[in-house]
Amino acid sequence: MRRIALVIVGLLIAVTAAPAAATGTGNVPGEPLRDTNVGKREMVVTANPDATLAAIKVLRRGGNAVDAMIAAQAMLGLVEPQSSGMGGGAFVVYYDAGTGTTTTFDAREKAPAAATEDRFEGLGFFQAWQSGLSVGVPGVPALLEEMHDRYGSQPFPSLFWDAQRTAREGFAISQRTSDQVATLLSFNPSCEERIFFRDPAALEYFANPDCTAKPAGTIVTNRPYAQTLIRYGRAGAREFYKKRTARSIVRAVQLDPAIGGDMTLDDLANYEVIERPPVCIDYRSHEVCGMGPPSSGGIAVGQILGILEPFDLGNDPLDERAVHLFAQAGRLAFADRNLYVGDTDFVTVPVDGLLDKDYLATRSALITDADLGTASPGTPPGVFDPQAPDTADTESGTSHISIIDRKGNALSMTTTVESSFGNGVLVEGFLLNNQLTDFSFRPTDDDGTPIANRVQPNKRPRSSMSPTIVFDADGQVELVTGSPGGSRIIGYTAQSIINVIDFGLDPQAAIEVPHYGNRNGSTELEIPIPGVTLDYDVDALRTALENRGHPVSVRSLTSGLSIIQVDGDLLIGGADQRRDGTVGAR
């Protein structure tokens, strides 16, 4: 892979650049590692070079993992607005090296108090997405302040300096952002009749006067965003949730050009981040810890690993048997996920039962040499509510940050505005989310059985985000991983862990393995990308799987994995070139 080295005040930072032709899955045991992906003190991996650079600058000033995360998130909201920002939500898994404890923070968006179960009745997904009804109370601003209050070491306002300066002075629109704008604009009947970018401010920011997307490389400024960060940095979350920004959000939601929403100032003022226990499972003597409900990620990743543990996966991640086994584990995990998982403040989820070793052994026993077909959910031990399954999951406007600092603190954060560009409305320089479309559009099935992920007042919708930290047999941080990608996040994250633990690949090599998986439907195989993924005979693998009974689809699978591995005194990073991933190390 080709890399760019940046020297910042005498500090060498390794930043992954556009890829050159790939010749294999990357580094293999016993061969020299890529110098640009290795650090000895601390490391950051994000989906954008500007965000990685902002985080590394904070670390160099003496900041820690939480300080660096705040700087990275502030920058991502500016330069990667289709994926995350101050108008969205996030989940964090955090390891505190000083106390040796792991915890998680739930900053998922919440439905307004006025929300009812029939919120999206009669609406198609596009109509719901591009409306005020889709906006949940944002969680990111509360999360940044909460984590800084507990763990931060640098002055809060200083963590936004880079993003403020970049917003004022301007930055170049990325190819990825431009392409996504163009795609959404193409769905509009005309420039005057707009479904997407219906908000005039958003249209002016992202598009030319003729309603074509601003091309990659266009320099844009965002002074309203800079001012938002200045106010927020000085006054903290109370400015966002109770003062000017709150009033702007409520006005934009209620007066949405398509369908007005029902969010109020009280909804914003009452928002709270929730600290929750991590969801952990032992996998081949490694402890894998992720996010519990309302995320399905920690449970489903844990189930895939637990179901696979009795099997020897061999030594080739693209071997047809390994792909078959991974697909079967995915079928079984998603069958359980779709039935049981919702916001545990509203429904009873059998978290421990779903990860119980004996229960997972019964699920493993269902796997044969032939494809299972559509799997049915199991009956795990523990208490749970009678529910109907919900297979919907549309989360795609998402990003991921992985950080380890010099003290050994580790942070895995997945952050989102839900679909690409959230609900498309620009407020005070940032986009609002459309997170409530992650709820089931139906409250019950045809028989009247309630769905765990139905809309309810003040409820948090189910997510697939899977921020994960893996510990070795001695309890030391070994791997920090996670990805964007909607419900495929679960498979991407599980595959990254297996590629490192089972197949012995370094992080970049693990990322370069083409993706595959099954969400209890067709088995998906990734089209290989020259210079980005390992080349392989996708047609031969497809035929082999079809001979086992798999329905197979071959498609683009755009993950955004950010991986850090601890190997003795070294930190080894991997950044996903399917997006604009970069590694920063010092």
The pLDDT value given to residue 390: 75
Residue 146, pLDDT > 90, answer yes
Alpha-helix residue ranges (DSSP H) falling in 421-479: none
User: Is residue 219 domain-resident?
Assistant: yes
User: Is residue 141 domain-resident?
Assistant: no
CA distance 523 to 447: 30
Q: Are residues 78 and 216 in the same domain?
A: no
Per-residue DSSP letters for 304-329? HHHHHTTS---S-TT-HHHHHHHHHH
* From 21-25, 117-121, 513-517, the region with the lowest mean pLDDT: 21-25
User: Is residue 206 domain-resident?
Assistant: yes
CA distance 371 to 410: 38
Q: Are residues 541 and 506 in the same domain?
A: yes
Q: Are residues 170 and 182 in the same domain?
A: yes
Mean pLDDT, range 167-192, rounded to an integer: 96
Q: Are residues 244 and 289 in the same domain?
A: no
* From 3-12, 21-30, 251-260, 374-383, the region with the lowest mean pLDDT: 3-12
Residue 128, pLDDT > 80, answer yes
The pLDDT value given to residue 397: 73
User: Is residue 134 domain-resident?
Assistant: no
Query: Residue 265 is inside which H or E element, if any?
Result: helix 265-269
Domain that holds residue 564: 1-124+274-586
Q: What is the pLDDT of the chain when averaged over all its residues?
A: 92
Of the candidates 409, 356, 448, the residue with the CA atom closest to the CA atom of residue 66: 409
Of the candidates 60, 429, 11, 427, the residue with the CA atom closest to the CA atom of residue 222: 429
The pLDDT value given to residue 34: 40
Q: Strands across the sheet with 516-518, in order?
A: 516-518, 523-526, 552-555
Of the candidates 277, 241, 252, the residue with the CA atom closest to the CA atom of residue 103: 277
Q: Are residues 452 and 570 in the same domain?
A: yes
User: Is residue 79 domain-resident?
Assistant: yes
Residue 318, pLDDT > 90, answer yes
Q: How confident is the model over 528-568, as pLDDT tens digits?
A: 999 999 999 999 999 999 999 999 999 999 999 999 999 99
Residue 468, pLDDT > 80, answer yes
Q: Are residues 502 and 533 in the same domain?
A: yes
Mean pLDDT, range 142-156, rounded to an integer: 98
Active site residues: 398
The pLDDT value given to residue 368: 98
**Confidence class for position 403, pLDDT limits 50, 70, 90:** very high
Question: Rounded to 10 degrees, what is the CA torsion of 91, 93, 94, 100?
Answer: 150
The pLDDT value given to residue 168: 98
Which of 224, 249, 273 is the last residue in one of the domains?
273
User: Is residue 142 domain-resident?
Assistant: no
Q: How confident is the model over 12-63, as pLDDT tens digits?
A: 223 333 332 222 233 333 333 343 589 989 999 999 999 999 999 999 999 9
Q: Which backbone phi and psi does 516 adopt, to 5 degrees?
A: -155, 160
Which of 273, 293, 311 is the last residue in one of the domains?
273
The pLDDT value given to residue 385: 83
Q: Is the peptide bond preceding residue 386 cis, with omega within 30 degrees of 0?
A: no
The pLDDT value given to residue 289: 98
Query: Looking at residue 475, which CATH number applies to its domain?
Result: 3.60.20.40
* From 21-35, 144-158, 223-237, 535-549, the region with the lowest mean pLDDT: 21-35
% pLDDT > 90, the chain = 90
**Confidence class for position 182, pLDDT limits 50, 70, 90:** very high
CA distance 462 to 221: 35
CA distance 172 to 91: 28
| Assessment of whether the complete model's pTM goes beyond 0.95 | no
Mean pLDDT, range 102-120, rounded to an integer: 98
Q: Are residues 437 and 513 in the same domain?
A: yes
User: Is residue 461 domain-resident?
Assistant: yes
The pLDDT value given to residue 386: 76
Q: Strand 552-555 and strand 523-526: pairing?
A: parallel
Q: Are residues 432 and 368 in the same domain?
A: yes
User: Is residue 148 domain-resident?
Assistant: no
The pLDDT value given to residue 134: 98
Residue 82, pLDDT > 90, answer yes
Q: Are residues 95 and 224 in the same domain?
A: no
Q: Are residues 206 and 102 in the same domain?
A: no
- Token couple for 576: 């996903």
Domain count, the chain: 2
Q: Are residues 40 and 117 in the same domain?
A: yes
Q: Strand 468-471 and strand 477-481: pairing?
A: antiparallel
Residue 411, pLDDT > 70, answer yes
Q: How confident is the model over 385-401, as pLDDT tens digits?
A: 878 787 765 546 799 99
Which of 273, 288, 316 is the last residue in one of the domains?
273
Of the candidates 502, 480, 443, the residue with the CA atom closest to the CA atom of residue 573: 480
Q: Are residues 106 and 188 in the same domain?
A: no
Of the candidates 526, 479, 530, 141, the residue with the CA atom closest to the CA atom of residue 326: 526
CA distance 553 to 525: 6
